[in-house]
Amino acid sequence: MSDNVKDKTGAENVQWDLSDLYESIDDPALEADREKVRDQADQFAATYKGKVAELDEEGMKQALQEYEALLETIGKIGSYAHLIWSTNTNKPEYGKLMQEANELSSEIHQKLVFFDVEWLAVDDDEAEKLIESEELTHYKHYLETSRRYKDYILSEKEEQVLSAKKVTGRSAWNRYFDETMGAARFELDGEELTQQQILSKLHEPDRDLRKRAQASATETFKDHSRTLTFIFNTLLADKHTNDKLRGYESWISSRNLANEIDDETVDILINSVTNNYSLVHRFYDLKRELLGYEELYDYDRYAPLLESEKNIKWDNAQQMVLDSYSNFHPEMGEVAGKFFNQNWIDAAMKPGKRGGAYSASTVPSVHPYVFMNFDGKIRDVQTLAHELGHGVHQYLSREQGALQADTPLTTAETASVFGEMLVFQKLMRNLEDPKEKLALLIGKIDDTIATVFRQVSMNRFEHAIHTHRREKGELTTEDFSRLWRETQEDIYGDSVTLTDNYDIWWSYIPHFLHTPGYVYAYAFGELLVLALYQEYTRSENGFSDKYIEMLKAGGSDWPENIVGKLGLDITQPDFWNNGLAAIENMIEQAEELANKVD
């Protein structure tokens, strides 16, 4: 990264303080917790193994409280290891720490797996009595949702084997992928850039720079293609094996079950989006005209409309987000402020740091941490708003405890995307120049297209590669690239010309490996937020309070019940069409603004 003063954003030294977890990788408390959690697990097994079916309401409550305490300790150790490793994947001692945390987690899980196996073996009628008991009201949703895995759980010994092998299987290959991409360097104009830095060039106004950046990224992706192809194939085969052992009907079934949503609802979502790919074509035709291009290429998709996008300082980004959050609800702004004031954010761009952004919930007894790479662009402000939305959600839901604080992925993106929307609307209100308004709106639609349509197109790619791996065997690099191009041509049609370089761009996307089936949750979250924001603008009062209560609920109820309290029914097919109609309205607004600017 350039050291020129003009490139400084103020985020260069924004690094998180992980001492609320542990002081350092050598902290004696870390080793003490390792020993503590082993003792806890042994004691738990000694107390409850072979006796779960005999537990009454009070006994089950006590067991669940002890189980949560175990999850807290192992979660704290794993969170610290992953967070510190994310900031420098090139550092061997951090990789070692994370591997040790993974191995410890597997060891503890093997000791505890009996609890799930025995609980799911409890007679349905007896289980229902426990679920409906007043004593276990707090844990009702956890107990309900866990029973859905009854047909897919294996014996205790088989579950132990799967847990043990995961450490040297799926977890190891994911780490290898992350460290490979973290160490990758991309040569551009005499400089060696990280993945995050090269991808940020695709948002620059200079078209030739974007084209050179795309070529540079492609070259490095190709250099690593043999490794990446092998990693992808290995993880596809690993998932197929696990799905077969457990008896899941399709590659996506386990993800839908975890998301607390049925296959049919997901199919309705996917079909609703793919049937409206014409909106993508319409938008990019408009953007091509506004940019004055005869042809729009893949490296032009995120081109800013204005030639001189301002470099936004970290302090200004912070103020934008906090103002937007506080204006919506004081508690939301107060919680978001803690992330800045208490150093819960790591935003500096540096070699070895993982690309992308996330918010780590850690454990209920501590607090979340936000990870990102801030480069001073307007999209970075939106990313900050997005991840802080996650962070606020995770902070507020801690009261639900380790077993119910986390939400399924279907609603996990709600708070993050809603946070983005608040910041976007604030920026739009503060702009008077029609050209600047149009540029901001186009940027927002860019993000919405990427979140809804592109993510669903990536779901279609996932479907294709999982199906190929299961029915035809291992894929070559060319197979992956062909399926990627086919699914990308479906979404862009004639509105965007995909270069040959773009064929390899499946290879750097971590979601396919870390959380197979994840990506449709982005579309779910975006369409849900569009509906929520419409409800917010229609509501005279009380919406923001209900919204905060929704965040506090975490994963303590079914998604349709939690969202239903805000007046929306996510089980109805029309729900998705309403969200897509909102996107069409944004495109129409952009077309009207474009006519005024002309």
> Can you tell me whether residue 360 is helix, strand or coil?
strand
Which residues are paired to 192 by β-bridges? 187
- Sorted by where each starts, the structural domains of the chain and their CATH numbers stand as 18-168 (1.20.140.70), 314-433+520-578 (1.10.1370.40)
Is 566:404 a contact under the CB 8 Å cutoff? Answer: no
Ranges assigned E (strand) in 162-220: 186-188, 191-193
Rounded to 5°, the CA angle 457-82-202 comes to 40
User: What digits encode the pLDDT tens for the residues 241-285?
Assistant: 999 999 999 999 999 999 998 888 889 899 999 999 999 999 999
| Tokens found for residue 143 | 């107990």
List the strands of the sheet with 369-371, edge to edge: 345-346, 369-371, 358-360
Distance CA 226, CA 351 (A): 23
Q: How far apart are CA 487 and CA 454, in angstroms?
A: 10
Q: Is 345 helix (H, G, I), strand (E, B) or coil?
A: strand
Low-confidence stretches of the chain (pLDDT < 70) are 1-6, 308-309, 598
Q: What is the pLDDT of residue 598?
A: 66
Distance, CA of 411 to CA of 265 (rounded, Å): 14
Q: What are the structure tokens assigned to 53, written together?
A: 């079916």
**C-beta pairs of 246-250 under 8 Å, 24+ apart in sequence:** 246/152, 246/153, 246/154, 247/151, 247/152, 248/152
**Pick from 429, 335, 448: nearest CA to 389:** 335
* Cα dihedral sign, 378-382-385-388: negative
Question: Could you say which DSSP state residue 450 is in?
Answer: I
Q: What amino acid occupies position 168?
A: T
- pLDDT tens digits along 320-373: 999 999 999 999 999 999 999 999 999 999 888 888 899 999 999 999 999 999
Q: What are phi and psi of 152, to 5 degrees?
A: -115, -5
| Listed residue (411, 378, 383) closest to 527, CA to CA | 411
pLDDT of the residue at 3: 43
Cα-Cα end-to-end distance for the chain: 38
Whole-model pTM? 0.84
pLDDT of residue 159: 93
Check residue 480 and give its pLDDT. 98
Report the mean per-residue pLDDT for the chain.
93
How far is C-alpha 31 from the geometric centre of its chain's CA atoms? 30
Residues 101 and 90: their CA atoms lie apart, in Å, by 17
Give the pLDDT score at 1: 41
Token pair listed for 311: 């470099």
| Tens of pLDDT, residues 533-548 | 888 888 777 899 999 9
Residue of 382, 520, 398, 407 lying closest to 454 (CA atoms): 520
